[in-house]
Amino acid sequence: MTKAIAIVLLLAMVVQIIKPIGLPGLRRRADFWKIAVFAFLAMTLVIVLQHLF
């Protein structure tokens, strides 16, 4: 699960650098770091939930 999340969000970061996605908060190329922060939080949440259950 974490690999799938990592791959999808990595592709989103590459797309954001090439051509901004245009969502609120992701209108500039320099906003790709926001996707990286979301990826870190999402993967952390998945790992914590896997260890709890």
Q: What is the mean pLDDT of the chain?
A: 88
pLDDT tens for 8-50 read: 888 998 998 998 988 888 888 888 899 889 889 988 998 899 9
pLDDT at res. 43: 87
For the beta carbon of residue 16, count every other beta carbon within 10 angstroms: 23
The one-letter amino acid code at 8 reads: V
What residues contact 9, with CB distance under 8 A and at least 6 apart? 35, 36, 38, 39, 42
How would residue 1 be classed by pLDDT, with cut points 50, 70 and 90? low
Neighbours of 21 (CB within 10 A): 13
- Cβ–Cβ < 8 Å for 5, 38: no
Q: What is the pLDDT of residue 41?
A: 92
Total structural domains within the chain: 1
- The domain of 28 spans 2-52
